[in-house]
Amino acid sequence: MPETLDSPYGTGFVDLHAHTNESDGSLTPAELVALAKNSDLAALAVTDHDTFSGYEKALPQAKAAGLPLVRGIELNTRLYVNGGRSHRSVHLLAYFLHGEPSHQFTDWLNEEREHRRLRNRLLAEALQARGMHVTVEEAEARGRVLTGRPHFARVLIEKGYAASFEDAFRRFLGEDAPTYVQRKSKTTDEVIAIVRHAGGIPVIAHPVRLGLQRDAERDLLLRFKQAGLVGLEIYHSEHTPELQAHYRQLAAELDLLPTGGSDFHGNIKPGVRLGTGADGNVRVPASFLDRMWAFTNNG
Ligand code: AMP
Ligand code: FE
Ligand code: FE
Ligand code: ZN
């Protein structure tokens, strides 16, 4: 294989983190592609939670529109803290720039979706135990192949139990809420290895949500790097310009590839726009994607 190959992504800006209604976004895959095209993006990665079906459904439209489409996914992982006494959830993005992941990987995804379904049943029970009339079926009716907490949030809002998405997450669905249910997950280190083994590029999503002090954050990312981590999401709708600069520097220091995206969910997250994030805080150069592409060719 030659040392360098021409990148298919060209110049301009890309968005490497977006959801369709195959997971918890509100736009169909075709609508997302049309929006990316209208937003003049040079490429788009579809990164639904636990499923490639949004990416696969978007492919024909993207081909017709001449929009390079990247196969991505957002995975749930578990991070043990306090010396293993407790754990929290960390999101890992995975990008497959060259072909499909192995059957082993897609079989594992099936198990992950099963864990999600179990979590959804337990979440409904937890809400019912607190006197709320919310069922799994009602949440599922608001999603498509995959039901997530945002679908529960919708039911809670529609039934008057919560005033908004933020309210629903703060009081019932978020990690600090009394009815929070953590699904079964592999550890972040394990999922990083699984993604690498399947030929993907693992990237820590929205590192701001790790909620760590600078030293602890650096140590943890160094550990993930040793486990095979390749990239760090430096642009994200929840990253202020200061945080973006911080993560850019950290990525350079730790020899991680910088990536970025809006984490667009359509009207589920109304303040977030495809390509530009919240108040224009996301602007991801196509060169980021070129470096990822070169990594899968040479790395
Ligand atoms: P799940 O994959 O079902 O555990 O749901 C996670 C999704 O819920 C995230 O990807 C976001 O789309 C959404 N989410 C998580 N925390 C919040 C929050 N505090 N406010 C609004 N949406 C959230
Ligand atoms: Fe989501
Ligand atoms: Fe996420
Ligand atoms: Zn996301």
- Interval 170-201: pLDDT, tens: 999 999 999 999 999 999 999 999 999 999 99
**pLDDT confidence tier of residue 298, bands split at 50, 70 and 90:** confident
- Interval 101-146: pLDDT, tens: 999 999 999 999 999 999 999 999 999 999 999 999 999 999 888 9
186 CB near ligand 1 (under 6 Å): no
254 C-alpha to ligand 2 centroid (Å): 27
pTM reported for the whole predicted model: 0.95
272 C-alpha to ligand 2 centroid (Å): 12
228 CB near ligand 1 (under 6 Å): no
Q: Which CATH superfamily is domain 13-102+187-298 in?
A: Metal-dependent hydrolases (3.20.20.140)
Quote the pLDDT of residue 9.
82
DSSP the chain: --S----SS-SSEEE--B--TTTT-SS-HHHHHHHHHHTT-SEEEE--BS-SHHHHHHHHHHHHHT--EEEEEEEEEEEEEGGGTEEEEEEEEEEE-SSPPPHHHHHHHHHHHHHHHHHHHHHHHHHHHTT----HHHHHHTSSS---HHHHHHHHHHTTS-SSHHHHIIIIISTTSTT--PPP--BHHHHHHHHHHTT-EEEE--GGGG---HHHHHHHHHHHHHHT--EEEEE-TT--HHHHHHHHHHHHHTT-EEEE---B-GGGSTT-BTTTBSTT---EEHHHHHHHHHHHHH-
Q: Enumerate long-range contacts of 176-181, CB under 8 Å, 24 or more apart.
A: 178/130, 179/123, 179/126, 179/127, 179/129, 179/130, 180/126, 181/119, 181/122, 181/123, 181/126
Query: Residue 147 CA: which ligand is closest?
Result: 1
Gyration radius of the chain's alpha carbons: 19
Q: Which residues surround ligand 4, an ion (CB under 5 A)?
A: 74, 263
Q: Which atom of ligand 1 is nearest to the CA of 89?
A: 4
120 C-alpha to ligand 2 centroid (Å): 15
Higher local confidence (pLDDT), 2 or 11: 11
Starting at the edge strand that comes first in sequence, how are the strands of the sheet with 257-260 ordered?
A: 257-260, 231-235, 201-204, 86-96, 69-81, 43-46, 13-15, 284-285
Place of tokens 């009602």: 138
112, 149, 166, 170: residue to mutate for ligand 1 pocket, most atoms within 8 A of CB:
149
Task: Domain ranges for the chain, please list them.
Answer: 13-102+187-298, 112-173
Quote the pLDDT of residue 299.
60
Q: Residue 42: which region, alpha, beta or left (left: phi > 0; alpha: psi -120 to 50)? A: alpha
Atom 15 (ligand 1): residue with closest C-alpha?
A: 174
In this structure, CATH architecture of domain 112-173: Orthogonal Bundle (1.10)
Question: Whats the size of the chain, residue-wise?
Answer: 299
Q: Which atom of ligand 1 is nearest to the CA of 150?
A: 8
Q: Which atom of ligand 1 is nearest to the CA of 23?
A: 2
CA angle, 284 then 78 then 297, to 5°:
45
Measured CA to CA, the distance from residue 105 to residue 102 in angstroms comes to 5
157, 170, 173: residue to mutate for ligand 1 pocket, most atoms within 8 A of CB:
173
Measured CA to CA, the distance from residue 112 to residue 94 in angstroms comes to 15
Quote the pLDDT of residue 1.
39
Q: Which of 47, 43, 35, 37 lies closest to 10 in space, CA to CA?
A: 43
- Interval 28-82: pLDDT, tens: 999 999 999 999 999 999 999 999 999 999 999 999 999 999 999 999 999 999 8
Atom 3 (ligand 1): residue with closest C-alpha?
A: 148
269 C-alpha to ligand 2 centroid (Å): 9
